[in-house]
Chains A and B, each alone.
Chain A
Amino acid sequence: QKEVEQDPGPLSVPEGAIVSLNCTYSNSAFQYFMWYRQYSRKGPELLMYTYSSGNKEDGRFTAQVDKSSKYISLFIRDSQPSDSATYLCVVTISYSGAGSYQLTFGKGTKLSVIP
């Protein structure tokens, strides 16, 4: 079983739609959760990070973590064509100390927002 499973898509939605992107992970040792966004022909960039179960909002983006079911979600409200990218869920074991540099990436979900 892969450590992080993510539906690769592609996912195509009309502008203004609510988008839901999801990941599952297998190791309960993972404690910190991130979403990176990768535009075509670019490197990934950090979008959001959280360490607790529950929701974290940043503008149109909401990250949701359920540690009991090992499930991570990213919601995008009022999606825009500029949101078209690949979204990578990322987990790591600790905030600092041994192993904290090791980010485990999902394979990414490719999103297209159609005007």
Chain B
Amino acid sequence: DAGVIQSPRHEVTEMGQEVTLRCKPISGHNSLFWYRQTMMRGLELLIYFNNNVPIDDSGMPEDRFSAKMPNASFSTLKIQPSEPRDSAVYFCASSPYVGGGAREQFFGPGTRLTVL
């Protein structure tokens, strides 16, 4: 079992550039989550998909952030334009349960984003 796959693992970009983070959830999982982790704010939920449909994007910080899930095996998180305050580790997680927050979410290794 490959687990949740994220790419790239590291991204360094300049302010104003577009950044695209990618995630492949575990096969058969119905729910997908994007999180952001910083020292100051800890782990924050950005958006949640259920069966490829965005359910709650209230955690997306602003319109510069967008997320898509075109099929059950792929999701992207895009930041355009990027700003230095977007520097963080971005995690994708998946779960076999619909709306099953109290159950286990399986996290990927994260993408460490640095915006200069």
- Chain A residues at the B interface, C-beta cutoff of 8 Å: 32, 34, 41-46, 49, 51, 88, 92-103, 105-108
Q: Is the CB of A92 within 8 A of B109?
A: no
Interface 1/0s, chain B 84-107, versus A by CB < 8 A? 000000010101000111111111
With a cutoff of 8 Å between Cβ atoms, the chain B residues found around residue A93 in the complex are: 101
Give the tally of cross-chain contacts (CB within 8 A): 71
Q: Is the CB of B101 within 8 A of A88?
A: no
The total of chain B residues at the interface (CB under 8 A) is 27
Nearest A residue to B35 via CB reads A105
Q: Which of B60-116 contact A (CB under 8 A)?
A: 91, 93, 95, 99-110
Q: Is the CB of A42 within 8 A of B109?
A: yes
- Chain B residues at the A interface, C-beta cutoff of 8 Å: 4, 31, 33, 41-45, 48, 50, 55-56, 91, 93, 95, 99-110
With a cutoff of 8 Å between Cβ atoms, the chain A residues found around residue B4 in the complex are: 43
A97 to B98, CA, bound (A): 9
